[in-house]
Amino acid sequence: MLVNSCFNFNLQHNRGTKLSKSTGFSITSAERYSLALYELSKESSLLTQTEEQCSSVLALINSSEDFRNLIKDPTTKKDDLLKVMSLISETYKFEILFKNFLNFLIQKRRLFFLEKILNSFIEICSRKRGEIKAELKSAKELSNGEISKISEELTKNFNSKIKLSYIYDKSLIGGLVLQVGSTMVDTSIKNKLQQIENRMIEV
């Protein structure tokens, strides 16, 4: 099939390291699949659509235990997976390229690693755009406007595009925890209490 040939060619072209029996399906292996998808999407001017569709599938994996169990079960028959994926593709109106990529993973028995591959694809897209990943956790639930304002401030301060993910975390007690790249900023009460506790132990 032409589609399989295209994906196989891109996988061979992007092959950096071979899969070893000891490491199994590594991060490098996932990136080869996601990079093949990236290059074919770019050639077809479908990068934005493919990224959105990857996010849709990741959201489905996180929200549906049945779907998650289905793709993680090595005994699931290929025909059953193809039928389910066809229904999902039709429901979400996936582009032919992305639909064929999912079918390609099924044929290659790589759907078990779908979450890892799609996350890698989104990471590649972000990296190619020159974005810096940032994660924000807060004890108080923030509005979309507040999150946007924080993202804008970070963009100015770091002089770079910021891709901000937000988590509402009640366990923080108060304050917020922000990580931009490798830089961690923790102003939470929980962290302050931990610092006090550590000093008491040291005395």
Tokens coding 180: 């931009």
pTM over 0.85: no
β-sheet bridge partners, residue 136: 166, 178
pLDDT in tens, the chain (203 residues): 545 556 665 665 655 444 434 345 566 788 899 999 999 999 999 999 999 999 999 999 999 999 999 999 989 999 999 999 999 999 999 999 999 999 999 999 999 999 999 999 999 999 899 898 899 999 999 999 999 999 999 888 888 888 899 999 988 888 899 998 878 888 888 888 888 888 887 65
Instruction: Give the list of residues 6+ apart from residue 104 with CB closer than 8 angstroms, or none.
Output: 3, 4, 7
Rounded distance between C-alpha atoms, residue 135 and residue 142, angstroms = 14
Domain 2-127 bears CATH identifier 1.10.520.20:
yes
Residue 191: the pLDDT is: 87
